[in-house]
Structure 1
Amino acid sequence: MFTNEKWDKIDALYSVDAICGFLAVICPGFENTYKQKENETPPYYWPLEEGVGHFSQWSKSTKRQFVDEIRLGKASEWVVVMGNEGGDLDSMTAALTWSYHLSHLALNTTHTLSQPDPNHPPHPKKAIALLQTPRDALDLRPENKLALRNVQMSPGHRDLLTIDELPLPAEELAKQLKGIVLVDHPQPLSVWEGARVLSIFDHHKDRGNAPDARPRIFEGTASCTTIVAREMLNELEELPKEYHMPHEVVELILDAIALDSDGLKKGTPEDKFTSRRLLKRSNWKSEKLLEVMDRLDNEMKKAKKDLEDLGVRDLLRRDWKGDIVKTKSERYPEVHLGLASIPYSLDDQIKRTLHETTQSWFEIEGQWTKEIKADISLSLNSYKLIKKKVEKDGKQKVREVCLVVRASHRLDENSATSLFNAIKETIDESPFIDAEPWHKVDELEQRQMVWVHHVPNGGRKLIRPIIEDAVKNWK
């Protein structure tokens, strides 16, 4: 019997590299085409089926130029626009939008990232969007796949630059870049701490990072893409002559805003006003705004829920956000904390394992966190429980918090237990979570704990700061 994890390994056998390697054996002459000098982009990579339209061509061309110029030592000429490592539609779209804007904005405008120089002719800025998600994890978000297909991007995400395609390690590249722009994220991951933060656009809590960044905008919109799109439109419309804004970019932005704002039903006035400005530039300009946004929201939500075929490992990594957290411990000043958001109950996920036991789930979780060297992991599960006389639709939102602290990478057994107890005590006593032990808590083993709570907005935005504070204060 094949588990989902075994199917993952089988799928990996049919990668582009594997297929081309096979052809090199059976097809005379293919070997000379397949074999390349080290670090060169294989020629078979680009002739595959391509996306059409200006946006796809620009993205692919920019990616090739970036990779080539980094290898030539020209990193100081580039700005990298990056979202959070979860790689959701909002984060991806915001990064693509702002990088497109920067690359088309001339230096003789009033753009805030650089001072205009009348002695130099206008020319575009070198900017690229980076998805801080491995390429093989992009399709774990089917809504992203649908949105990119709708705007005619190349299949297989070949137009996009992912974290595992960087020509240099992130820590090394960070020190060489002209700078980075953060979207949908308040501070850079630890691997990018060596880079200058030029701008920040976010709809989360301001953590005080990069106070000199310009623009530096923290605003409570439903979608971060709203903020980026508004600033883009403001600067675009101030230009003496607008650069070409393809309808594909506009429609990708509307997809992201629609999904995050529930078709504008939960949108702020800024989400609605910016969406109206964007609609006028789209192929849907003759339609009514709310009808368009409701349709897009339904399409994206339907795709987003199509996760039935994912195994536990893929559910954990599809929306994983983690980084180094500094502690007060002299012996362990840094630990790696990660959080996964999963739209299924733990009981449901357990049924997807080979033996359908609680510890089967934790074994898969342990393999994943060992692979990425996470010391602390939390799986934040959410689902709806059907009950009578509960809410208008008869469903109650239930949330779970699964905590594991692992020894072997940074922590020894005693320290891991101490850290686990500190986090567990924080969750047990937090008035903001009001958590209760899971119904199968007696099946848990050392440094494992699962809670259930019903806080409506009790996802990662609530849990992460609470856990980070507990880890920072651990000695």
Structure 2
Amino acid sequence: MSILKFLSNIKTYSSQKVGQKLLIVTGNESADLDSYTASLLCAYFLSRHAPSQRLQESVSTSEKIVPLLNIAREEVSLRPELKYLLSTLGLNSDSVICKDELPSVSTSADFVLVDHNKLLPELEDRFSTARVVAILDHHADEGMYPKADPRIIEPVGSCTTLIVDYFSKSGCLDLFSAAEQREIALLGISPIIVDTANLTSKALEKDKEAVRTLIGLLPACDCEDMFNKLMAAKRDVDSFSLRDLMRKDYKEWADDQYPSLGIESSVKSLAWALNKFTVSGFIEGVQMWAKERNLDVMAYMDSYLDDEHKFHRDLLVYANTDRGKSVVDKFLPKAETEFELVSRESWTNGMQNVWMWEQRNLTASRKQVAPLLRLSAGYPA
């Protein structure tokens, strides 16, 4: 069964809203290319083979296996790189299942978490019974669900790498036809090379081995050409509104016990955003988003190549509340050293509770910044 047919079958089921147990494979709420591809590949593999006993039990007792794009339908247009990748498989964005399209009367669900390791309350609260049965992730371990099997949390460049590694070692790839294997390869290679700059940045041996495995299924693959086209699509945000830019690749941590935090990750430079929206307009946009999301602290990170193809990062932090200001005060001493921050105070136009820096530690992405911000807010390590 092709990926198109696999998704079509789920779409048909979803529209019928049958009240049966689901097995939902979901990425995180940023819903970037890696997050959705990992969920789609994992679900597709599980439709043929479940390597662990826990997964076997869950598959056998679930009506459908649903790969979830963990955003609302109206936000799909904010992911042009996903639209491009789907088009190479003969799919369009209507093929995917979004979080606001889950069957409304299903009372129970098992979850496989990919690209994160703590189930979002919004999904958990949707079902009377919600169990996390497996985790495959490459972020900081939040210590949840010790009985998940597999429970693989490993700091590789791309979460999709872990999906490919886990299922290929179980012999799962051999269960697909040559045509299906080519689709798997195209789907799997794409996020790995995007997240590792075509295996030149943050790529570990396991990432490289996953790409080698997938290229074995798609020998004619031109990874450099694929990477360039995906990145061109990902950077195609010039028409976005400021609010759209804030929510394109956004993650949030909200808990009644701790200050609420949000981080947006952008492929466009902070300088580009300040020029496009003006300094005051951009900062006001950050403030409005922080108020809309009831955040104590909002951060905006960028990662981009300049005209000479040199890689850069910047960081903006805004304290929306007095509680948020206390978090930033704790965050800054270690962050300035660890992330090699150089002040861009002149860019703030003297606005209060806003900090901007050039970040010279280029290896520190949101995966490094977020844990320190969370620790500064008192979240468990």
User: Do they fold alike, i.e. is TM over 0.5?
Assistant: yes
Do the aligned partners of residues 334 and 399 (structure 1) sit closer, same or farther apart at CA in structure 2, a change above 3 Å counting? same
**Partner secondary structure for residue 158 of structure 1:** helix
C-alpha separation in 2, matches of 1:94 and 1:81: 9
Q: How many residues end up aligned between the 2 structures?
A: 371
Q: In the alignment, what sits opposite 1:343?
A: 267
Q: In the alignment, what sits opposite 1:303?
A: 233
One of 74, 81, 91 as aligned partner of 1:143: 81
Name stretches of at least 5 consecutive residues in structure 1 with no aligned partner.
1-52, 327-332, 387-392, 407-415
Do the aligned partners of residues 344 and 190 (structure 1) sit closer, same or farther apart at CA in structure 2, a change above 3 Å counting? same
Q: Residues 154-303 of structure 1 correspond to what in structure 2 (within 5 A)?
A: 154=92, 157-168=93-104, 176-193=107-124, 195-237=130-172, 242=175, 244=177, 246=180, 247-266=182-201, 267-281=203-217, 284-285=218-219, 287=220, 292-303=222-233
- Post-superposition Cα deviations, 1:10-51, rounded to whole Å, max 9, x if no partner, equal xxxxxxxxxxxxxxxxxxxxxxxxxxxxxxxxxxxxxxxxxx
**Do 1:433 and 1:453's aligned partners in 2 also have CA atoms closer than 8 Å?**
yes
C-alpha separation in 2, matches of 1:421 and 1:233: 47
TM-score by length of 1: 0.70
Cα offset for 1:425?
4.2
Name stretches of at least 5 consecutive residues in structure 2 with no aligned partner.
none
Cα offset for 1:441?
5.5
C-alpha separation in 1, matches of 2:209 and 2:155: 14
Q: In the alignment, what sits opposite 2:295?
A: 374
C-alpha separation in 2, matches of 1:134 and 1:233: 31
**Partner secondary structure for residue 133 of structure 1:** coil
Do the aligned partners of residues 237 and 128 (structure 1) sit closer, same or farther apart at CA in structure 2, a change above 3 Å counting? closer
Worse-superposed segment, 263-272 or 304-313: 263-272
Do the aligned partners of residues 273 and 470 (structure 1) sit closer, same or farther apart at CA in structure 2, a change above 3 Å counting? closer
Larger fraction in strand: 2
Cα offset for 1:212?
0.9
**Partner secondary structure for residue 316 of structure 2:** strand
C-alpha separation in 2, matches of 1:152 and 1:317: 27
Q: In the alignment, what sits opposite 2:54?
A: 113
Amino acid at match of 2:72: P
Q: In the alignment, what sits opposite 1:10?
A: none
C-alpha separation in 2, matches of 1:137 and 1:336: 22
Do the aligned partners of residues 335 and 277 (structure 1) sit closer, same or farther apart at CA in structure 2, a change above 3 Å counting? same
Q: In the alignment, what sits opposite 1:64?
A: 12
**Do 2:319 and 2:353's aligned partners in 1 also have CA atoms closer than 8 Å?**
yes
Do the aligned partners of residues 180 and 67 (structure 1) sit closer, same or farther apart at CA in structure 2, a change above 3 Å counting? farther
Please tell me whether residue 460 in structure 1 is matched to residue 366 in structure 2: yes
Do the aligned partners of residues 84 and 130 (structure 1) sit closer, same or farther apart at CA in structure 2, a change above 3 Å counting? same
Please tell me whether residue 321 in structure 1 is matched to residue 226 in structure 2: no
- Post-superposition Cα deviations, 1:223-269, rounded to whole Å, max 9, x if no partner, equal 21121122223334498xx3557232331112222222333345433
C-alpha separation in 2, matches of 1:116 and 1:401: 45
- Post-superposition Cα deviations, 1:314-348, rounded to whole Å, max 9, x if no partner, equal 2211111113145xxxxxx3443110012333332
Do the aligned partners of residues 312 and 237 (structure 1) sit closer, same or farther apart at CA in structure 2, a change above 3 Å counting? closer
One of 80, 98, 101 as aligned partner of 2:42: 98
C-alpha separation in 1, matches of 2:173 and 2:79: 36
Q: In the alignment, what sits opposite 1:37?
A: none
- Post-superposition Cα deviations, 1:337-378, rounded to whole Å, max 9, x if no partner, equal 11001233333212222xx3x221122223333333333211
**Partner secondary structure for residue 19 of structure 2:** coil
Amino acid at match of 1:363: E
C-alpha separation in 1, matches of 2:70 and 2:8: 17
C-alpha separation in 1, matches of 2:100 and 2:317: 28
**Do 2:38 and 2:163's aligned partners in 1 also have CA atoms closer than 8 Å?**
yes
**Partner secondary structure for residue 206 of structure 1:** coil
Greater Cα radius of gyration, structure 1 or 2? 1
**Do 2:28 and 2:116's aligned partners in 1 also have CA atoms closer than 8 Å?**
yes
**Do 1:190 and 1:324's aligned partners in 2 also have CA atoms closer than 8 Å?**
no
**Do 1:427 and 1:435's aligned partners in 2 also have CA atoms closer than 8 Å?**
no
Q: In the alignment, what sits opposite 1:36?
A: none
Q: Residues 438-449 of structure 1 correspond to what in structure 2 (within 5 A)?
A: 438-440=344-346, 443-449=349-355
**Do 2:194 and 2:227's aligned partners in 1 also have CA atoms closer than 8 Å?**
yes
TM-score by length of 2: 0.85
Cα offset for 1:73?
2.6
Identity of aligned residues (%): 26
Do the aligned partners of residues 384 and 65 (structure 1) sit closer, same or farther apart at CA in structure 2, a change above 3 Å counting? closer
Q: In the alignment, what sits opposite 2:19?
A: 73
**Do 1:185 and 1:202's aligned partners in 2 also have CA atoms closer than 8 Å?**
yes
- Post-superposition Cα deviations, 1:183-231, rounded to whole Å, max 9, x if no partner, equal 1112222334563111111122323221110011123332211211222
**Partner secondary structure for residue 164 of structure 1:** helix
Q: Residues 38-53 of structure 1 correspond to what in structure 2 (within 5 A)?
A: none
Do the aligned partners of residues 336 and 252 (structure 1) sit closer, same or farther apart at CA in structure 2, a change above 3 Å counting? same
